[in-house]
Amino acid sequence: MTPINPLSIVGLLLTLASLLGSFFYLQLSQWLRDLLALEQKTTLNQAQGDEAQKKAIVECRVEQARLATWPTYAVNAVVIGFVIFVLVLGLIMIQPAAADPVYPTIKLAIWVFLVVFVALSLGLLWMGNRTARSIRTMLDG
């Protein structure tokens, strides 16, 4: 029986990480877009001069409460952690194949994906959290 090359198995892990990471990135960016739109709506209706603006502010409060809940942050943290785990596992798995000529390229690809994924995810999460806090301040103030 021939030994299995770890480089061939790591493709499955990279596919899993990239699929999950892509879907998560779309969800996270949509969450941020929703928060930015809500921030704009809150800013426009902050005067609460007429009934329509008062109603809009109530809607903003409901929407802010929906978008800035602890489960949203928990799910985001778990998904980011899982993708990082899968990528680190991939890096560990390919170490025995260090003599393979494609090893450096695969290792570089994993590291680049890991850095880009973490930077984008944490950046979007930070921007979303900052925007949610800004909306909360506008609504409470």
Q: Give tens-digit pLDDT for 51-78.
A: 888 888 889 999 999 999 999 889 888 8
Q: In the chain, how many domains are there?
A: 1
- Give a yes or no: residue 54 inside a domain: yes
Query: Look-up: residue for tokens 């944490």?
Result: 122
Mean pLDDT across 23-44: 89
- Give a yes or no: residue 53 inside a domain: yes
Query: Comparing C-alpha atoms, which of 34, 35, 10, 29 is closest to residue 114?
Result: 10
Side-chain half-sphere of 125: how many Cα atoms within 13 Å? 19
pTM, to two decimals: 0.79
> The domain containing residue 68 runs over which residues?
6-140
- Give a yes or no: residue 1 inside a domain: no
- Give a yes or no: residue 15 inside a domain: yes
Position 15 confidence tier, pLDDT thresholds 50, 70, 90:
confident
The whole-number pLDDT of residue 2 equals 61
Position 132 confidence tier, pLDDT thresholds 50, 70, 90:
very high
Fill in the DSSP letter of residue 97: G
The whole-number pLDDT of residue 1 equals 63
- Give a yes or no: residue 130 inside a domain: yes
* pLDDT greater at residue 16 or residue 136: 136
- Give a yes or no: residue 49 inside a domain: yes
